[in-house]
Amino acid sequence: MIRDHRSTVFSYLNDKLTEQVTSRHKQVSLPVVEGCVRGMGDFVSAFGISDEEDPGCREEVYDKLRKICPKPNTGDEDGTT
């Protein structure tokens, strides 16, 4: 029974993160993203996730975060490198 609650919490946080990444009608809410990432991090620290339970979970979360995070400034905007 505890296992079901654990997976439900992680799934909820993952769904909220997905909602932020895929929303085209509103701007990304960074406090929501931060809350999801912190919650997921705490969840993984406390319970862990094996590849048998959720294969590809790490890559999925990493890809979502890459879509949200701003790209680093390379200095090309003013013509200098």
Taking the C-alpha atoms of residue 10 and residue 38, their distance in angstroms, rounded to an integer, is: 11
| Chain centroid, CA 49 distance in Å | 15
- The answer to whether residue 58 scores a pLDDT higher than 70 is yes
pLDDT digits (tens, 9 = 90+) for 8-45: 888 888 888 888 888 776 787 888 888 888 888 888 78
3-state DSSP call for residue 64?
Answer: helix
pTM across the whole model: 0.63
